[in-house]
Amino acid sequence: MNPPKYTAIEYINFLIATQKAYSCSEAERVQPTTGAGAAHDAINRLLHRLDPDPNELWLEAKSYVSLEQGILVIDDTMLDKWYAKQMELVSRQWSGKHKRIIQGINLTSLLWSDGDKHIPCDYRLYEKVVDGATKNDHFRAMLTTAKERGFNPRCVAFDSWFSALTNLKLIASYGWIWLTRLKRNRLVNSDRTGNRPIGEVAIADSGTVVHLKGYGFIRVFKIVAPDGDIDYWATNDLTMSPLQRQQWSEFEWSLEEYHRGLKQCCGVEKAQVRSARAQRNHIGLALRAFLRLEMHWFNTGISWYESTVSIVRQAVRSYLADPWLTLPPTA
């Protein structure tokens, strides 16, 4: 059998370097002039040939994490597909970014962070009509996999969307601390007089221990934003301080930055392929591309954005040294 003409690493390098078009045809156009180069069909075959396995990301990421340190953060994001009519994996779902139902692909990510490094370790794509798995099923599957890989994080942080009792109990069964936000209508018992919505309970500045219906005792913090918005943060660590809560919640925000970098620097939502397998492979390779940008930032201090811009800057410098879009002199 002849070896493949295009490899996963070559596609990852293409995702890092290209700035706008993420198609197989564009990948063909930018092939190095030395050598035969790969045709767009070979690149398309790569996306359909690979087995879309999240474990490939872990094989590269595991040497950069400390299993006994840092925290695990889980959240989902929508990969916008406004005009996709024949693309698999695409469905209409709620987008926190756009604050409405949109058309796209839902990506749920598990990130390890120690405050300095932000390492993607696992991910799942929502396709309930095919595998029957909900977002909460993906949440629990990734945590179970993390446990099997030997993780013992200092905390697991996630958004209120994943604060179902089943999820909270699973994390507690692993002996892990969890930190999440609760909706203001979640029922708690603060004074043994019965359950009330948490929004009606007085919460001390240092946090208040209450009984969450169906779960047990938790510690709740009430955070009032300058614009008046109120967040209720909750944890199963009954001794957690407000300062520790703030530190972990800032770590949780790193996943929002990760999703932004993944979209802006790695083209994760811009694959111009239709099949679910090709989309899954493109997304998985984009995550591996981000891992390279993140470790380069950690090792050199050069951000994801500066790293990708420097590639273009080098191309502009080469053109300015020998411009070919010129007009005859007029004088």
pLDDT tens readout for residues 2-35: 677 788 999 999 999 998 888 888 888 888 865 5
Most distant pair of Cα atoms in the chain: their distance? 93
pLDDT for 63 = 95
Q: Quick one: pLDDT at residue 309?
A: 93
> CA 11, CA 273: separation in Å to the nearest integer?
14
Q: Which residue has the tokens 């620097």?
A: 265
127/130 Cα distance (integer angstroms): 6
C-alpha span between 176 and 112 (Å, rounded): 14
Can you state the angle between helices 8-17 and 276-300, rounded to 10 degrees?
70
Q: 263 pLDDT exceeds 70? A: yes
User: pLDDT category, 85, cuts 50, 70, 90?
Assistant: confident
Regarding pTM above 0.75, the answer is yes
pLDDT bin (cut points 50, 70, 90) of residue 100 is confident
Rounded mean pLDDT of 183-193?
90
Rounded to the nearest integer, the mean pLDDT of the chain is 90
The answer to whether residue 163 scores a pLDDT higher than 70 is yes
Mean pLDDT of 278-298: 95
Q: Which two tokens stand for residue 137?
A: 């099923």
Task: Map the chain to HEC letters.
Answer: CCCCCCCHHHHHHHHHHCCCCCCHHHHHHCCCCCCCCCCHHHHHHHHHHCCCCCHHHHHHHHHHCCCCCCEEEEEEEEEECCCCCCCCCCEEEEECCCCEEEEEEEEEEEEEECCCCEEEEEEEECCHHHHCCCHHHHHHHHHHHHHHCCCCCCEEEECHHHCCHHHHHHHHHCCCCEEEEECCCCEEECCCCCCEEHHHCCCCCCCEEEEECCCEEEEEEEEECCCCCEEEEEECCCCCCHHHHHHHHHHHHHHHHHHHHHHHHHCCCCCCCCCHHHHHHHHHHHHHHHHHHHHHHHHHCCCHHHHHHHHHHHHHHHHHHCCCCCCCCCC
Q: Residue 97: what pLDDT?
A: 77
- Residue pair 198/190 in contact (Cβ under 8 Å)? The answer is no
Instruction: Give the least confident one: 34-38, 47-51, 229-233, 318-322.
Output: 34-38
- Cα–Cα distance for residue pair 278/272, rounded to 1 Å: 9
Give the whole-angstrom CA distance, residue 317 versus residue 274: 36
Q: How far apart are CA 243 and CA 224, in angstroms?
A: 15
